[in-house]
Structures are given as C-alpha cells and as structure tokens.
Chains A and B, each alone.
Chain A
C-alpha cells in the first residue's frame, strides 16, 4: 500500500468519471472542435462549452465566454501579467507567491520597467490588508496575490478584493491551490482576473487550466493563430474566447476536466472543504506531538487550505521525504516548492521544508500512519 500526500503538486487519484470521459472522447469522438461543421465536430464543440459552463457554475461566472482555456495556471498568469502590464506600471504582490507569478514579474521588471511593491507575510501568515491599502498609488496597474499559499496553505485576506475595487485597481488571483477545494465566487471576492489549473483541486488531467477575465479588462493575447472561425481575418478575432485561444485545444483534457468539475458539483464543494478542513485540523493537532517537528503557517485550519509545511529537527527535508517513501511508502514533497520568497518569510530558504498536500481521497487513518512514521523517524534521528 502506498499513500499519496502530494495533492498540492497534482491531485491523485482522479475520480473514475474523469478517466472514463477522457477515454470516451478519445475512443468515440476524437475529432477537433470549432474546425468542422459535421455532427461529431459540433458534438465536441458542445462538450468544450459544457466544461466552460460547469466552471462558470463553480466560480459564479455568468458569462462563460469570459473563461479562457490554457494549458495550466502558469500560462494563465503569464497571459494576465504580460497582457496587462505596460511600460512603467506599478504592481503589488506578496512574498508568498509562486514562481509562476514571481518570474514573469521579474521579466516585466527588466523588460518594461515594472515597479514592484512586495507585501510581507511574516512567518507565512496572511499579509496585512492595511499594508495593501497603503501600497496602492495612482500608478498601480494591478494587484496579484495567491488565494492560498502553495507552501503553507495560508489563505488570502478576504478584504483584498474590496480594497482593490474601492481603489479602482484590478485584482489578479492565483487560485492554483484553492480551485475545487475552497469556495470561489468571483463576484463576492471581487476578482477581476482568476487564474486556475485543472489538475490540482479541480481533479482534472494535467495540461488543463484557465483564466477568467472580468468585463472591462482587456489583455493583449499571449499567442496568435488559428481559431477555426473568422479565418478571413489576418489578425486575431476580438471576440472571446477566440481572442486568447489560438490553436487546437487540449480536447481530451477538457473532456476530463468537464467530468471532474461535474464530480465536484455533485459531491458538493462545501463537503470537500469540510473533509479537507477536518484533516488539516487533525494534522495541526497531532503533528506537534512529533518530537522536534516545526510546523509553519497559521495554527487554525480555518485560515488555510490542506497544505502543510514542516521540518523535523535538523534533518534535511529531502532525507525525511526519502525515508517516508522508502520505508513507509508515503509520498510527500521536499524543497522550496517553487516559492523561494515564501521560505524567506519562514526562515527556511537555506533548506526548504517537507510539504504535505492533503486531498479529498486522503483519510484520517492515513494521516495517523504519517504521524506514527514521523515519530519513528524523529526517534531514530535522535539516537
């Protein structure tokens, strides 16, 4: 038996319905969408729209044409950042961002003279909304924050959207760690750009993701090319989603993603959140019983999603991960998790952390087994 605790990287296993939908598409349909007017092509077109529409239901997006499909959240973030930021713009972000935000911002700093303000998140706690309010200036073009950290699971302060809306600054939210496991209502959160991936909490296959673009936001496309329709035009069509969706889409992936979102809606997002919150609370209670274990981030499950980072005494995280895999068949992640700035807040930039990402198929028994394994490793390390 092996136990998978790396759902923050990608969720596993996927619901059977997801695998079946992908197989059904590949075996029985298999044709392109938007590129033909025969029945099968129109059926695939309908399947792609259904996936878009289900995502709209999940995120309370009324106009599903404003959901752009991408290959992952990294592409979504690049489209939003590089499509919006112009020469000399001011952008506000936080120390807890993933490299999918951080690296495009550094490129824009170099190439377009972007001015960056970075909000601090001491010890991996959420940033102070008052700091955000103070940082916004007339030159601020965008605020970009993660909805939950991929290192500590820390949730963004709820006030962020209201502050940005009041100041008239668009808010881009990186929902890589929350889409599918935590309620997202773009109206309530006052989000202008929502970047999400299909293969983590949404339980879909890798190679899927998307970006919601609120009305009034216009981005320059990241790529140009064929859209199936309006072929006479020498430029990209203005209509959504075609403006941003050049090239044949990942249809087998979108078939799976549609089935995955339907699974989440049927199971109920509130039930998924409850299960993960209970597991997180259990981990927050039992991990401190492990000798020499240092746990990072908020102490309450209410303030985080089911992502937990820790270190075990002076042991290198890679060593802990290796022993868990070899001796206990438990899969966890070790290192900086593509978020080096976050580790500066935690004081772990020189070594990283061990990270567990809990998912809807994990159980309390599996968590107990992990705690027992960690206790044994800690004892052996001491001796």
Chain B
C-alpha cells in the first residue's frame, strides 16, 4: 500500500459557493511516482510533471494532488469530503498496485477556453438546454455547471464529429458526470 493515511488539516467555505467547502489534507506518503499512472487512468486529468501535481474532477468537486498534500474544492460537507478521500486512497493504491500493467503518461492536457467550446457547439441558440444562448451554455460548460448531454442538437447525426471533439474537450471540465477510470 503506497498511501496509508490522509489527515485533514484545513476546512473552510468555498469562496465561489459558500454552501460548499474547500479543504487541504496531508498525505502520509509521497505519491509523486504514481502521478503519471493516474494521468493515464483518470480520464480528463490535468498533469504537470514538473511541479508535480495532478488535478481532476469527481463530479462537481475539483481535486488536486501534490506529492504529500491534496486540496479539494466544492465538497458538499465534511462527510462528503471524507467519502471522496477514502475513494481517492483506493484509487491511488489500486493504480500503484497495477502500475506494471499501465503505460505512464507525461502529457499535459490544457483546459479549453469557453470560446473554443463555443466554436464546436451547433450555435443554433435553440434554448433546449435551458440557457439563453449557445455562448452562455459554453461558459457554464466551462465552469462545470452544465452537462454536454443537455445540448440536444449536438447528439444528432448532423453534429456527430462536433460531439466527439467536444466530449474530448469536456472531459477535463467536470460537468457533473462521475469520473471515468480506465485501467
């Protein structure tokens, strides 16, 4: 087992959403060596090999792992945070256990800009997603407050290629979907 324990060191309300919490925690063991493997298995992770750190979303929560620390923002409450921390411990240890079977990835993905997202949307302003315009939808998609699946025209045959590009771009945004892990 690589990571034995996680100790919560700081909890406070989120600045952007005071009904949610942000936190810091100390890791009992250095997890640097597992980060490139996490970058491979966690779909949509953003990894910086030189720092090193790795960030990804679990649904609406944003998690960043450092060698011996971690942060989480937008957790619902401390019970929710502890549950995610327990899940993270399992993810880190399982990935470490399986690292001989995983090709490490040192690729640094970047978050797309809202205008880049907009470029690939149908631009019909149909409002089926509940937003006033496609640009508004793109901004909310960027901030993780909208789901790609809400754009109905995108899921028609006409926009099949656009959908594939957007799904790839949106994988680093955390739009409310649960995280995808691929071993």
Once the chains bind, are B82 and A46 in contact (CB under 8 Å)?
yes
Chain B contacts for A33, CB-based, 8 A = 78
**B8 is an interface residue with CB less than 8 A from chain A:** yes
Flag A234-250 by CB within 8 Å of B: 1 or 0 each.
Answer: 00010111100000000
Once the chains bind, are B76 and A239 in contact (CB under 8 Å)?
yes
Q: How many B residues are at the interface, by size bracket?
A: 10 to 19
Once the chains bind, are B9 and A52 in contact (CB under 8 Å)?
no
CB contact under 8 A between A53 and B18, given known A42-B8, A45-B78: no
A34, A42, A240 — most chain B CB neighbours (10 Å):
A42
Chain B contacts for A228, CB-based, 8 A = 78
In the complex, which residues 1-56 of chain B have their Cβ closer than 8 Å to any Cβ of chain A? 7-13, 18-19, 21
Once the chains bind, are B19 and A37 in contact (CB under 8 Å)?
no
A-B pairs under 8 A by CB, number: 58
Chain A contacts for B78, CB-based, 8 A = 33-34, 42, 45, 49, 228-229
**A144 is an interface residue with CB less than 8 A from chain B:** no
**A230 is an interface residue with CB less than 8 A from chain B:** yes
- A180–B10 CA distance with the chains assembled, in angstroms: 35
B91 to A: closest C-beta gap in Å: 15
In the complex, which residues 315-357 of chain A have their Cβ closer than 8 Å to any Cβ of chain B? none
B77 to A: closest C-beta gap in Å: 5
Chain B contacts for A240, CB-based, 8 A = 79
Once the chains bind, are A237 and B79 in contact (CB under 8 Å)?
no
What are the nearest 9 A-B pairs in CB distance? A49-B82, A42-B8, A239-B76, A37-B11, A45-B78, A65-B79, A229-B77, A230-B19, A242-B77
Once the chains bind, are B83 and A53 in contact (CB under 8 Å)?
yes
Chain B contacts for A64, CB-based, 8 A = 79, 83
Main secondary structure of the interface of B (DSSP, over half): mixed
**B161 is an interface residue with CB less than 8 A from chain A:** no
Chain B contacts for A42, CB-based, 8 A = 7-9, 11, 78
- A21–B169 CA distance with the chains assembled, in angstroms: 49
Chain A contacts for B19, CB-based, 8 A = 230, 232-233, 237
- Report A's interface with B, CB cutoff 8 A: 33-34, 37, 39, 42-43, 45-46, 48-49, 52-53, 63-65, 227-230, 232-233, 237, 239-242
Chain B contacts for A227, CB-based, 8 A = 77
**B80 is an interface residue with CB less than 8 A from chain A:** yes
Once the chains bind, are B21 and A53 in contact (CB under 8 Å)?
no
- Report B's interface with A, CB cutoff 8 A: 7-13, 18-19, 21, 76-80, 82-83, 86
Measured CB to CB, the nearest residue on chain A to B6 is A46
One of B10, B79, B80 near A37 (C-beta < 8 A): B10
Chain A contacts for B12, CB-based, 8 A = 37
B15 to A: closest C-beta gap in Å: 14
B9, B76, B78, B83 — most chain A CB neighbours (10 Å):
B78
- A33–B78 CA distance with the chains assembled, in angstroms: 9
Chain A contacts for B21, CB-based, 8 A = 229
- A37–B18 CA distance with the chains assembled, in angstroms: 15
- A53–B12 CA distance with the chains assembled, in angstroms: 23
Measured CB to CB, the nearest residue on chain B to A48 is B79
B10, B12, B13, B82 — most chain A CB neighbours (10 Å):
B82
Measured CB to CB, the nearest residue on chain A to B10 is A37
A39, A43, A63, A229 — most chain B CB neighbours (10 Å):
A229
Once the chains bind, are B80 and A65 in contact (CB under 8 Å)?
yes
Q: Can you list 29 A-B pairs with a CB-CB distance of less than 8 A? A: A34-B77, A37-B11, A37-B12, A39-B9, A42-B7, A42-B8, A42-B9, A43-B7, A45-B8, A45-B78, A46-B8, A49-B78, A49-B86, A53-B82, A53-B83, A53-B86, A65-B79, A65-B80, A65-B83, A228-B78, A229-B13, A229-B21, A229-B78, A230-B18, A232-B18, A233-B19, A239-B76, A239-B77, A242-B79
- A46–B21 CA distance with the chains assembled, in angstroms: 15
CB contact under 8 A between A45 and B76, given known A230-B19, A232-B18: no
A223 to B: closest C-beta gap in Å: 18
Once the chains bind, are B79 and A52 in contact (CB under 8 Å)?
yes
- A37–B24 CA distance with the chains assembled, in angstroms: 11
Measured CB to CB, the nearest residue on chain B to A232 is B18
- A240–B80 CA distance with the chains assembled, in angstroms: 8
Once the chains bind, are A49 and B79 in contact (CB under 8 Å)?
yes
- A158–B62 CA distance with the chains assembled, in angstroms: 42
- A237–B13 CA distance with the chains assembled, in angstroms: 14
- A65–B19 CA distance with the chains assembled, in angstroms: 17
Once the chains bind, are B83 and A241 in contact (CB under 8 Å)?
no
- A63–B76 CA distance with the chains assembled, in angstroms: 14
